[in-house]
Amino acid sequence: GAGVSQSPSNKVTEKGKDVELRCDPISGHTALYWYRQRLGQGLEFLIYFQGNSAPDKSGLPSDRFSAERTGESVSTLTIQRTQQEDSAVYLCASSGFNEQFFGPGTRLTVL
């Protein structure tokens, strides 16, 4: 079916506001990842979901960041009280076995 989709594609928000980013993985993929790419930087791992196991949250940069996933479907990344340093492209990927497939990303700009 379709690839990984993400929404919105672009989000502009004011400092201090909360934002929610959505990821729809490829159907049947049990693993889902969130990465962040800040300008001029490499991709940073944020969080990993595998089936019904407890997620690996070791990459989340602060407690303002959280993510949820319902079963093996949609995931939402929430950033509370956004800061300017949160401005980045947030990429979601899903995996069935040994290859990760990426969505187009959400470009977040915090003013």
The binding site for other proteins (CB under 8 A) comprises: 4, 6, 31, 33, 35, 40-43, 45, 48, 50, 56, 59, 91, 93, 98-105, 107
| In the complex, least distance from residue 108 CB atom to other proteins, rounded to whole angstroms | 13
Nearer to other proteins, 80 or 96 (CB): 96
| In the complex, least distance from residue 43 CB atom to other proteins, rounded to whole angstroms | 4
| In the complex, least distance from residue 98 CB atom to other proteins, rounded to whole angstroms | 6
Nearer to other proteins, 86 or 105 (CB): 105
84 contacts: CB under 8 Å, gap ≥ 6: 15, 110, 111
| In the complex, least distance from residue 83 CB atom to other proteins, rounded to whole angstroms | 23
E-assigned strands of the chain? 5-7, 10-13, 19-24, 31-37, 43-50, 65-69, 75-79, 88-95, 100-102, 106-110
Q: Give the bridge partners for 96, in sequence order.
A: none
Residues 111/15, Cβ–Cβ less than 8 Å: yes
Nearer to other proteins, 22 or 107 (CB): 107
Nearer to other proteins, 48 or 65 (CB): 48
Residues 78/66, Cβ–Cβ less than 8 Å: yes
